[in-house]
Each structure stands twice: as C-alpha cells, then as structure tokens.
Homo-oligomer: A and B are copies of this chain.
Amino acid sequence: MNTAALLDALRAAVGAAHVLTDGDLSAWELDWRKRYRGKALAVVRPGSTAEVAAVVKACTALGVGLVPQGGNTGLVGGSVPDQSGEQVLLSLQRMNRVREIDAANLTMTVDAGCVLQAVQEAAAAQGLLFPLSLAAEGSCTIGGNLATNAGGTQVLRYGNARELCLGLEVVTAAGEVWDGLSGLRKDNTGYDLRDLFIGSEGTLGIITGATLKLYPQPAARVTALAALPSLDNAVALLQLAQARLGSGLTGFEVMGAFALQLVARHFPQLPQPLAASPWMVLLEQSDTESEAHARGLFESMLETALERELISDAAIAESLEQSRALWHLRESIPLAQAEEGLNIKHDISVPVSRIPAFVAEADAAIAARFPGARLVNFGHLGDGNLHYNVQAPEGGAAADFLREHEAAVNEVVYDTVVAHGGSISAEHGIGALKRDELERRKSPVALQLMRAIKRALDPQGRLNPGRTLSA
C-alpha cells in the first residue's frame, strides 16, 4: 500500500487539517469500555457527504479498510480501528447540522454526526419530541444510533432507532451517495434499503444523514415504583398496565433486589422510597392530557394490582423531581456495579412471557457452576430486554474470576437465552465483541444470507472489515 499517496488523497478530500496521524488519537482509537485499543492509519474528519464519498473512493482505490465512527460510545468494539495501523478511521463528528425540521410532517432531517441530545433539543425547541433516549445521549451520534439500531428506555412505546427513522442518506462502498432521505410514512417502491443499512454497523455503507420521526410532546410524564414478590407478577403487571394505559405506558423497567442493594451500598444518598423487595418495577406514563389525569390512571391501575396481589406496595412520584429521582435510581445501577468491581455483562432479550423461566433457569445454572457469583439483574422488562450481569463472589478477586470464568459464564447465559428463543444482543449490536459468538449461534441459513448481502454491497470488504461478520 502506498501510504503517502493515500494521505495525499485524503488531504485533498477533506483538507489537511482534518486528516490526523500524529499525537494522542485515543479519543478515536480507544473504545468507550476501554476493551479495544486500535491504531489508525489516519483519523479523517470529513465535513460533508461529498467529502465522505471522496474519502471512501480514495480508500477503496488503494485497497484500504474504513472504520466509520460517530460518538465512539459503542459497547461492542464496533467503531475503533484494529491494531494493524492500516485502517482509516472515518469520524462523522464534524457533520452535525440539523438540516430541516418539518413540524407539520413531524419529521427532522439531520447530519449523521449530530449528537443525540442535540437532536432531542432541536425537537423540543419546536415543542416536539424525539423519543430515542439512552445513557450515552450526551455523546453518541444519531448516525451511530442508527448504524447499531440503538434501543434505550422508550422502546416499549416508540420502538428502537429503526422505528424512528423514515429515510437515510448513505455513502456506498463504491463511494456513491444514495439519497434515501424521505419524509414519507408510506412508500412501497422497491426493497427496503433503509432498514438494511440500519443496524449493519457500517459494514454495508456509511450513514451520512437521516430523516427522523417526531412526536408531539406529552402534556405530562409521571413515574411510579412498585414492589413485587416475583417476575411472574412483573409480567402480569405489565399486561395490566398495557391494557389500562395503552400507549401511555412509555417505560417499564425492572430492578432486582441485589441491583438495588448495590446502589444503596455505593450511593447511600439516593433515596429508595419502598422497603426492599425481591423485585421493583419503575413505570413511566406519558399523558397527552395532564399530570392529574396521568396520576388518576396510575392510582386506579396500581389499586387493581394491589387487590390482585400482583404488587406488595407502590408509590407514585408527586413531582417532576421525584420522577427524576426514580429514574436516577434505575440509572445508577450500572455505576454501582462498576463501583463494586469488574463484572460480566449481558445484553439479552427473550419473549416477555419467557422472562420468569429464563431467569429461574439461568440463576440456577450460574449458582450451580459458579458458587458465590452474584447476579445483578435489571433492564427493560417491557421489551423483554434484561441486562443480566454476573458479579464476582463477594470479597473475591474479580479480575481472576473474570479471567477464569467469563467464557463459561457467557456460555451458560447464552445457552439459556437461546433455549428460550432469545437474542444474545438485544440493543448493543455485534461489533467485534460478539462476532464469533454470533457465528456460533446464528442459523447457517441466516449467516449465508448475510454474507451474500455483504458481498453484494461491499464486494472488496472495505467497510468496517471484520465487524458483524468475519472477513
């Protein structure tokens, strides 16, 4: 490879100031969880779709692989270069314009590099809602959200990133621009290219822009906390809440007792409004009428749940502050876990109806194989998505536990997931971290179809090589 020629071409494409080769490039080369540290041939920061296309053409002409990156907040090592020093890191961060808001059509068209929170704020400034919401929203970009089909806490009502996107602009492996931006809610003119690029982790094309769905802002958001003796009851409570609140139910998060114990241990200042219980559920309701109306619906629904003995106790937030405090409790679980020490994370989903059986079986299998291991179980129960994490035994050397047992723990958890018709990656994607696991777990027919598509759209394998699928 002629590195000098490539760098010249890249500088011609985006300007010398935006081709970085020296100094500390760890902002782009080291992943969010600090598990992957790569070495880029160069970090290239195009400022427009045409510049992205020029970069792709330069790289493919010289046979160089490209790794696209948004906010670099991915959790599966999908957006940092490998260690070869031969891959170009293509950062979309400079492309951060809100191109257009069409309030009457409830759509917004944005550059891929817009930070999620900026997208939310641009919608809110028009009195509208962009509902995608997740922990990294202050740093992650909408292009990355779409490339990984991000989930988060509002999926129950609004769907994943996929369901919030009407159209895309994509630079193909050949360096051509597909203008699939569209504000249409119905368009049956040919194959669904949009959804093929969404979730493909930059391996089929590079998302440079998107048209997003907006919603009216709800008049009020109210949360409640309920204590339950079992996950069976949590599933029954979900059914009751869905029947009574319909799409007003915008959040349904479950938290295991040990997860909340860890929060109490490491963040004792956070109030926990209800006495300890095997499970807690955080419910969120969004109402188009008023806070009083939302509270009334919650009260009546939770009374029924108490009468049916689905829940043992409940509290409805009395103010926006109390609502925020409940969410803060939920969001502190991963931080409390980190304080407690290294742990083995899983981002799994099963059908909602299978959650109790899955947890019972996985808990039993982990207890039998890894005595003392502690289960930090919480997540988006309304979507069947649990963060089923395994913490090393109390007082043990966590690093040793992980080194010795991580692979075996994963095998137990994923075997149980698959036995219940579940997914080994609900919302985080595959990237580098789960690629080999995917190739073991996915059906041969599905893998064959995926490879055929990859070959068709990126015949030379230049786009995010080795991510999602092995090269």
Contact = CB atoms under 8 A, between A and B. Distances in A.
B438 A105 contact: no
Contacts of A183: 351, 353, 384, 421
A351 B105 contact: yes
A246 B155 contact: no
Given A104-B235, A180-B446, A189 B244 contact: no
Contacts of A288: 243-246, 248
A242 B105 CA distance: 11
A126 to B, nearest CB: 12
Given A216-B242, A216-B246, A245-B288, A189 B442 contact: yes
B446 A178 contact: yes
Contact of A192 (B182, B195, B350): B195
Contact of A191 (B102, B179, B196, B243): B196
A416 interface: no
A423 interface: yes
Given A192-B198, A453-B456, A384 B426 contact: no
A227 interface: no
Dominant SS at the A interface?
mixed
A148 interface: yes
Contacts of A248: 246, 288
Contacts of A247: 246-247
B239 A104 contact: yes
Contacts of A184: 349-351, 384, 421-423, 426
Given A445-B177, A450-B193, A188 B148 contact: yes
Nearest to A160: B186
A453 B191 contact: yes
A282 to B, nearest CB: 18
Given A107-B351, A188-B425, A455 B456 contact: yes
Contact of A449 (B178, B186, B188, B446): B178
Most buried by B among A215, A349, A430: A349
Given A105-B351, A172-B445, A176-B445, A423 B188 contact: yes
A137 interface: no
Given A184-B423, A380-B186, A442-B190, A196 B195 contact: yes
A274 B66 CA distance: 62
Nearest to A356: B104
User: How many copies of this kind of chain does the complex include?
Assistant: 2
A118 B257 CA distance: 44
Most buried by B among A155, A186, A297: A186
A256 to B, nearest CB: 19
A151 B421 CA distance: 29
Contacts of A421: 182-184
B383 A443 contact: no
A193 B242 contact: no
Given A151-B186, A155-B186, A457 B446 contact: no
A343 interface: no
A53 to B, nearest CB: 11
B384 A186 contact: yes
A34 interface: no
A463 to B, nearest CB: 13
A282 B2 CA distance: 66
A103 B235 CA distance: 11
Given A151-B186, A216-B242, A352 B105 contact: yes
A259 interface: no
Given A187-B426, A191-B450, A438-B189, A179 B104 contact: no
21 contacts: A104-B235, A107-B351, A151-B186, A155-B186, A182-B423, A183-B384, A186-B380, A186-B423, A187-B425, A188-B427, A189-B423, A189-B425, A189-B441, A190-B438, A190-B447, A190-B450, A190-B469, A192-B199, A196-B196, A244-B288, A453-B456
